Amino acid sequence: MKVSPVEQLFTLFNETALLLQEELNCTYLEALAETGENLFQGSILQDEVSELTEKRLSKQYEQIHLKNFSNEEIRKAYQLVILKGMKESVQPNHQMTPDSVGMLVGYLVDRFMKQSAFRLLDPAVGTGNLLTTVVNHLPKKVSSIGVEIDDLLIKLAYVNANLQEHPIQLFNQDSLEPLFIDPVDAVIGDLPIGYYPNDVRAADYQVKADEGHTYSHHLFIEQSVKHTAPGGYLFFIIPNGLFESDQASKLSEFFKEHVIVQGLLQLPISMFNNKDTAKSIMILQKKGEGVQPPKQALLVDLPSLSNAVEMDKILSKMEKWFQENKG
């Protein structure tokens, strides 16, 4: 039975990570970042590995050349080994955007962004999976920026970008602290849901809660809009109950003042554990000179993303919307 390219890469990443995990006495995900860096640099960078382990690693690295694989094959294999590591470490904050959703975000970015070259920000970049999925599906020149507070996730994102040879600028910091970046043309983000613990920092935001902690996803939206050029687009994966919380009125006021809602695509409930955790893709446009709202917003209730017939019907309706509203 022929082994697929993704399976070949998964085996390489997994087996070499296990070797390094044992040798370096570290977590699987830390070892994965180390083996990814070895592959990118073309040498074994860890001085503390034994001669025997070094020989075993070298033998496995020599069997596969990354040049023979597409970026998507590399990304998918890397994603699978990260998912394996996340299951083992059981860290609730380490979650990954499903491939089907990432590709859908990529399609939307491609259809809304008319420029042949633009700047793209992911303020919650995590392991870089959503960002590299989108970039891999864009036939355009994209300068990408990712921000992530978690040290391990940003290292995995750095290796992810290197293995796919994407020149992504990565910043290891709290995204809700001041960002020293030039305005971008588009933002994507699978927004972290929950309360932001730094009330002093949150006080600088328009959407800040009157009492107690502010929702971090509300703050991420405001921060992203702030760093988007006028007329730029933002594509967020949001909880369906975004405007049903006790802090929703503040967010609504911010929207009226700063953005136009271009569309809302509700993801199929079957993708989630229950109705309460279901999400949608929201498309915003930052207000600016000459920016007009659509005749009507793009409102879509998506079927199962694996149902090709129903998805084709939806995509045809969406294409008709683009023709009528975006020319």
pLDDT, tens only, 295-323 = 999 999 999 888 889 999 999 999 999 99
In a domain, 271, yes or no: yes
In a domain, 94, yes or no: no
Q: Are residues 183 and 314 in the same domain?
A: yes
In a domain, 62, yes or no: yes
pLDDT of residue 3: 87
Q: Are residues 108 and 253 in the same domain?
A: yes
| Rounded-to-integer distance, Cα 229 and Cα 183, Å | 5
pLDDT of residue 305: 84
Q: How many residues does the chain have?
A: 327
Sign of CA dihedral 309, 306, 311, 138: negative
| Rounded-to-integer distance, Cα 316 and Cα 124, Å | 31
Question: ∠ at Cα 252 (247, 224), nearest 5°?
Answer: 90
Which of 57, 89, 121 lies at the terminal end of a domain, its last residue? 89
Q: Mean pLDDT highest for which of 50-54, 170-174, 322-326? A: 170-174
Domain limits for position 110: 99-326
Q: Are residues 13 and 84 in the same domain?
A: yes
- Average pLDDT of every residue of the chain: 93
pLDDT of residue 271: 87
The token pair at 32 is 């994965």
Indicate which CATH number applies to the domain containing 308: 3.40.50.150
Q: Are residues 224 and 161 in the same domain?
A: yes
Q: Are residues 80 and 195 in the same domain?
A: no
Q: Are residues 140 and 237 in the same domain?
A: yes
Comparing 26 with 98, which gets the higher pLDDT?
A: 26
The burial of 287, by beta-carbon neighbours within 10 Å (0-12 exposed, 13-18 middle, 19 or more buried), is given as middle
Count the Cβ atoms, other than its own, within 10 Å of residue 238: 19
Q: How many angstroms separate the Cα of 81 from the Cα of each of 77, 152, 166, 264?
A: 6, 14, 20, 32
Q: Are residues 82 and 30 in the same domain?
A: yes
Q: Are residues 237 and 267 in the same domain?
A: yes
Q: Are residues 239 and 293 in the same domain?
A: yes
In a domain, 284, yes or no: yes
Q: Are residues 82 and 104 in the same domain?
A: no
Amino acid letter, residue 216: S
pLDDT of residue 112: 96
In a domain, 254, yes or no: yes
Calculate mean pLDDT across residues 279-306: 94
- pLDDT tier for residue 70 given thresholds of 50, 70 and 90: very high
Helix and strand element counts for the chain (H, E): 11, 10
DSSP state of 48: T
Q: Are residues 114 and 159 in the same domain?
A: yes
Which of 42, 60, 89 lies at the terminal end of a domain, its last residue? 89
Indicate which CATH number applies to the domain containing 57: 1.10.150.470
pLDDT tens figures, 75-99: 999 999 999 998 876 555 556 788 8
Whether 226 shows a pLDDT value over 90: the answer reads yes
Q: Are residues 142 and 205 in the same domain?
A: yes
Helix (H, G, I), strand (E, B) or coil at 302: coil
pLDDT tens figures, 167-212: 999 999 999 999 999 999 999 999 999 999 999 999 999 999 999 9
Which of 89, 114, 135 lies at the terminal end of a domain, its last residue? 89
pLDDT tens figures, 230-265: 999 999 999 999 999 999 999 999 999 999 999 999
Count of structural domains, the chain: 2
